[in-house]
């Protein structure tokens, strides 16, 4: 048994070296170190006013894993680990951990004196329940990973031993709060997790506890007096304002009504002017863990979208340069395939998509027998914009215009965030827009969208219905292999196939701006950025 030091982890290949958008490796290293602490001495007190866009349906991680839920609920819940900018595991509810020599048994030592917000102590039983029952049932990402756990035992209340059926290289990347939040067993065991009344008043171990939610107005959480972190948190409370209008959100930041915005809060076209404001800081790092990839979601069951030639044509109808530069104002990076360039095992040699070429797109549609009618229309599809802000609406309008140029008519169907999630999960769509996190390893964040075994009526699975036995085989090889070289070969092959068959139309590697008042410190200190617990954030 050996302790997992950072050096040992690097030797094992568990540390994924990533680069934040627009930063050199040296700048990233410097920024990572600086983000861990502040030059200003932390002080107690104050209310952080921030924004949440759009309003989430619930605040229980696992029951809902949409982006807004993760942003707010990560202050209420915690995982065993958090991660550095290089995706090295760092302590959170687990203060230390070891791995057996056969790389199959992980032993976690838990922090002492951790309490849930209702006063109950958190023990190893809560951790095992959270892993083996709660998230295994609820999370389409966690279920196949945790199915590899042969046994989960608690030798004592502060020790958890997870024995795997076989070595699994990216296992330690599964324990962030957004992937596996620790929930109270005494509240959830034996209940319907999705309808448990406690979902209306979340109970976690985080530095802040839930106080009030006025739907359509705000969510308020206060400092948890019995938080296990010494002298933390520093803030008295956090208020998430629900402000649907993008101009009103920008005005709230500009006038100081809020001190922090993140993710979808500020539209990309507004970012340049906030960069010029001397009292604000704009940061693009803090998303290394998620490495989010945006794509046009295709339902393969809808004719003629199941035809690879049609998807290839749609792929060539869009201009990724225009999308990045004119819609996202240079924030982010053009997608080149199903794996982000910041994710481990990305292979630029095969991750290549044909460029913008409407003429070639029309030739493909002709070859598929989809000739234009007298009005120039080949066929009509419905498109459900992502209801996460104005830039996503603009993108869907651009998508409609681009496809019209090759003879495909697009009808937009506008829905709210809850309806969007339900309809995607029910396969009740033709095309839409989606973005998913990759969590440092393709087995954790990419595989779920393309293997046929994960075709389920659950949001963020393979809802598109794409199936290719060779792709299934390659993902299985990469999942089961302990040798990074074998995994790389499998992931390279799968990238090549997916780039040829374009089951989804990838268009942008997202880089979200976190904008905050310079009086707010320690906002971005880990690879989860604003999705971290904020126990160390303070106002000067």
Q: Which residues have CB under 8 Å from 245's CB, separation 6+?
A: none
pLDDT > 90? residue 33: no
- The answer to whether residue 252 sits within a structural domain is no
User: Is residue 424 a part of any domain in this protein?
Assistant: yes
Question: Is 423 within a domain?
Answer: yes
| 526 and 396 co-located in one domain | no
Cα Rg, the chain, nearest whole Å: 23
210 pLDDT more than 80: yes
Q: Measure the CA–CA gap between 111 and 207, rounded to whole angstroms.
A: 14
pLDDT attached to residue 143 = 86
Residue 93: predicted pLDDT: 98
The Cα–Cα gap between 272 and 283 comes to 12
Q: Are residues 518 and 411 in the same domain?
A: no
What integer pLDDT is reported at residue 38 of this predicted model? 58
The first and second tokens of residue 479, run together, are 């999942």
Q: Would you place residue 144 in the very low, low, confident or very high pLDDT band (cuts 50, 70, 90)?
A: confident
Give the bridge partners for 110, in sequence order: 94
Percentage of the chain beyond pLDDT 90 is: 89
pLDDT over 50 at 169, yes or no: yes
Same domain, residue pair 326 and 367: yes
In a shared domain, residues 436 and 534: no
The stretch 77-88 carries a mean pLDDT of: 96
Q: CB–CB of 509/332 below 8 Å?
A: yes
- The answer on 421 and 364 residing in a single domain is yes
For residues 6-25, average pLDDT: 35
CA-CA distance, 266 to 275, in Å (whole number)?
12
Per the domain annotation, does 225 fall within a domain?
Answer: no
CB distance 521 to 233 below 8 Å: no
Q: Identify whether 275 is part of a domain.
A: no
Least confident interval from 64-68, 124-128, 237-241, 267-271: 64-68
Spacing of C-alpha 63 from chain mean position: 15
Burial of 321 (0-12, 13-18, 19+ CB in 10 A): exposed
Is there a single domain that holds both residue 517 and residue 491?
A: no
Side-by-side strand order, sheet with 431-436: 333-334, 505-509, 293-298, 431-436, 379-384, 408-412
CB atoms within 10 A of CB 113: 10
Query: Quick one: CA torsion of 504, 142, 346, 435, rounded to 10 degrees?
Result: 40
- The backbone torsions φ and ψ at residue 268, rounded to the nearest 5 degrees and listed phi first, read -55, -35
- What is the pLDDT at residue 65? 87
Residue 37's pLDDT is: 52
- CATH number, residue 51: 3.90.76.10
Q: Is residue 263 part of a domain?
A: no
Do 484 and 503 share a domain, yes or no?
yes
Structural domain range at position 95: 2-200+512-539
Q: What is the pLDDT of residues 336-352, one digit of tens each?
A: 999 999 899 999 999 99
pLDDT in tens, 353-389: 999 999 999 999 999 999 999 999 999 999 999 998 8
Question: What is residue 36's predicted lDDT score, i.e. its pLDDT?
Answer: 42
pLDDT at position 62 over 70: yes
Residue 426 has pLDDT above 50, yes or no: yes
User: Same structural domain for residues 139 and 38?
Assistant: yes
- Is the residue at 255 inside a domain? no
Mean predicted confidence (pLDDT) in 408-434: 96
Neighbours of 190 (CB within 10 A): 7
Q: Are residues 318 and 183 in the same domain?
A: no
CB 98 within 8 A of CB 91: no
* Number of structural domains found in the chain: 2
Instruction: Calculate the average pLDDT of the chain.
Output: 92
Q: Is 285 exposed, middle or buried (0-12, 13-18, 19+ CB in 10 A)?
A: buried
Cα(179)–Cα(199) distance, integer angstroms: 18
* Token couple for 224: 């948890």
CA 338/CA 436 separation, integer angstroms:
10
Judge if 460 and 518 occupy the same domain: no
Query: Half-sphere exposure of 308 toward its Cβ, with a 13 Å CA cutoff?
Result: 9
Answer yes or no: is pLDDT of 448 > 50. Answer: yes
Same domain, 455 and 494: yes
Give, in degrees to the nearest 5, the angle at Cα 126 between 121 and 131. 155
Sign of the alpha-carbon torsion through 497, 501, 504, 510: positive
Does 278 reside within a domain?
A: no
Structure tokens at 345: 């095992």
Please tell me whether residues 498 and 455 are part of one structural domain: yes
Q: State the CATH number of the domain containing residue 498.
A: 3.10.105.10
């Amino acid at each position: 048994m050996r302790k997992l030091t950072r050096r040992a982890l690097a030797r094992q290949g568990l540390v994924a070296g990533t680069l934040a958008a627009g930063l050199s490796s040296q700048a990233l290293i410097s920024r990572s170190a600086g983000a861990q602490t502040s030059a200003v001495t932390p002080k107690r007190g104050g209310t952080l006013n921030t924004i949440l866009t759009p309003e989430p349906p619930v605040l229980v991680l696992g029951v809902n894993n949409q982006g807004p839920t993760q942003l707010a609920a990560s202050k209420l819940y915690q995982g065993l680990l958090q991660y550095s900018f290089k995706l090295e595991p760092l302590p959170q509810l687990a203060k230390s951990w070891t791995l057996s020599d056969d790389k199959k048994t992980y032993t976690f030592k838990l922090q002492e004196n951790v309490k849930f917000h209702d006063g109950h102590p958190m023990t190893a039983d809560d951790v095992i329940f959270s892993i083996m029952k709660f998230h295994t049932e609820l999370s389409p990402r966690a279920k196949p990973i945790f199915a590899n756990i042969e046994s989960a035992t608690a030798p004592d209340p502060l020790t958890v031993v997870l024995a795997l059926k076989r070595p699994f290289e990216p296992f330690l990347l599964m324990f962030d709060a957004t992937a596996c939040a620790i929930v109270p067993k005494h509240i959830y065991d034996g209940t319907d997790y999705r309808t448990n009344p406690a979902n209306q008043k979340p109970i976690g171990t985080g530095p802040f506890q839930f106080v009030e939610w006025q739907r359509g107005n705000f969510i308020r959480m206060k400092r948890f007096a019995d938080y296990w972190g010494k002298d933390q948190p520093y803030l008295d409370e956090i208020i998430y304002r629900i402000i649907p209008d993008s101009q009103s959100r920008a005005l709230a930041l500009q006038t100081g009504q809020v001190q922090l915005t993140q993710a979808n809060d500020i539209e990309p076209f507004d970012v340049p002017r906030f960069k010029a404001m001397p009292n604000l800081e704009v940061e693009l790092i803090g998303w290394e863990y998620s490495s989010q990839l945006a794509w046009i979601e295709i339902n393969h069951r809808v004719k003629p979208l199941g035809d690879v030639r049609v998807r290839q044509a749609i792929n060539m109808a869009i201009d990724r340069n225009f999308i990045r530069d004119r819609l996202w104002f240079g924030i982010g990076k053009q997608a080149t395939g199903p794996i982000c360039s910041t994710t481990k095992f990305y292979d630029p040699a095969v991750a290549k998509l044909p460029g913008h070429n409407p003429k070639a797109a029309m030739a493909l549609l002709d070859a598929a027998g989809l000739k234009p009618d007298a009005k120039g229309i080949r066929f009509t599809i419905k498109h459900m914009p992502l209801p996460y802000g104005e830039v996503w609406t603009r993108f869907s309008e651009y998508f409609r215009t681009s496809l019209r140029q090759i003879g495909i008519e697009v009808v937009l169907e506008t829905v709210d965030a809850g309806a969007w999630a339900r309809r995607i999960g029910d396969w009740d769509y033709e095309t839409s827009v989606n973005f998913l996190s990759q969590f440092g390893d393709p087995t954790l964040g990419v595989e779920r969208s393309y293997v046929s075994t994960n075709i389920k009526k659950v949001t963020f699975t393979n809802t598109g219905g794409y199936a290719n036995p060779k792709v299934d085989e390659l993902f299985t090889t990469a999942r089961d292999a302990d040798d990074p070289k074998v995994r790389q070969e499998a992931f390279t092959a799968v990238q090549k196939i997916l780039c040829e068959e374009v089951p989804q139309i990838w268009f942008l590697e997202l880089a979200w701006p976190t904008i905050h008042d310079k009086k707010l410190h320690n906002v971005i200190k880990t690879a989860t950025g604003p999705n971290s617990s904020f126990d160390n954030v303070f106002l000067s």
